[in-house]
Amino acid sequence: MQQNKKCLVTGAAGFIGSHLARRLLREGCPVIGIDSFTDYYDRAIKEKNINDLKHNPLFRLITGDIVDIENMGAECEGVQWIFHQAAQAGVRASWGDEFTHYIHHNVLGTQRLLEWARRSKPERFIYASSSSVYGDTGKLPMHEDDLPAPHSPYGVTKLAAEHLCNLYHRNFNLPTVSLRYFTVYGPGQRPDMAFHRFIRAINDNEELTIYGTGEQTRDFTFVDDIVAANLAAAQAEKAEGRVYNIGGGSRISVNGVLNILRGLAGQDIKVRYEPVQAGDPPHTYADTSRAARELGFSPQSSLEDGLGIMFNSFK
């Protein structure tokens, strides 16, 4: 690990951004975090995510919208690694009027950040892309060279921003890397996501909801593996201008997840089935051979271990 790199983490108070910032600080890197504390979920959760970081003298938080990065640029002068995590996340919520937020944060926000970055000339610009760019593909596992065909408006904006990264690389030599994360879980997971909702319902002895039959599958990825992939992407020689799948190697159905949770909870779980949600792809499954070859990435956490850590973090 190259120490003392000055880092910028956008979305630093979010689920993944806060884990990443914590790890960078542990490695001795000064970190500037930017977060606008969008109201997609409770601000108190985000404040809690970064509570410990705020006391670290190497950490500086800027509260603001990346769309206005030009006005914060002076403080961010000289950053060497940019980790762009800020976005309006959430697949199923991206329909209707909500799309305005997705365009603002994901597309315009990324474009403004790229414009600023091309002048500030970082050594790496790493973008948090998403498995949602693939959509309802008939082909598994998903490979980076497959034609993307998002299944949700959210996926469209994540793909648009990925294309923006690629073209700033091609036109201006900005050293961008896109990491397509596959459904990420771990302590601090967003409250709209499946594992968070399931564990909270179990703890409250309430019914949890499964959309569809529960036979849909995801290549669930533990957050520490996502963080490790970011660090690898910042340092790997071949990574510039490249796109990588980052999956956990733990592809399983939602019903399969419930079986593991039953074991962890030591009790039966009350389940209600509801219709499939628009925008939800039936399956995701990452071919991670490129990330293995070029980033030296291999997921370290099994689903059983990672889910156990997340389950205990709720207590």
- By annotation, the residues acting in catalysis are 154
**Per CB under 6 A, does 152 bind ligand UGA?**
no
To ligand NAD, the closest distance from the beta carbon of 7 in angstroms equals 16
Nearer to ligand UGA, 66 or 184 (CB): 184
What's the distance, CA 233 to chain centroid? 14
Nearer to ligand NAD, 10 or 80 (CB): 10
DSSP state of 83: E
- Letters for 21-40 (x = contact with ligand NAD by CB under 6 A, - = none) are -------------xxxxx-x
In angstroms, rounded to a whole number, what is the distance separating the alpha carbons of residues 126 and 82? 6
To ligand UGA, the closest distance from the beta carbon of 172 in angstroms equals 27
To ligand NAD, the closest distance from the beta carbon of 112 in angstroms equals 9
What's the distance, CA 248 to chain centroid? 13
To ligand UGA, the closest distance from the beta carbon of 181 in angstroms equals 6
H-helix or E-strand containing 202? Answer: helix 194-203
- Letters for 82-121 (x = contact with ligand NAD by CB under 6 A, - = none) are ---xxxxx---------------x---x------------
Residue type, 216: Q
Give the torsion through C-alpha atoms of 84, 11, 13, 242, to 10 deg: -20
Other C-beta atoms closer than 10 Å to the C-beta of 219 total 27
Helical packing angle, 109-120 and 69-76, nearest 10°: 40
For the segment 17-46, give every residue that binds ligand UGA (CB under 6 A): none
**Per CB under 6 A, does 277 bind ligand UGA?**
yes
Residue type, 36: S
What's the distance, CA 83 to chain centroid? 11
Confirm if 199 and 263 have CB atoms less than 8 A apart. no
**Per CB under 6 A, does 190 bind ligand NAD?**
yes
Query: Which residues contact ligand NAD by CB under 6 A?
Result: 10-11, 13-17, 34-38, 40, 46, 65-67, 85-89, 105, 109, 128, 130, 158, 181, 183-184, 190
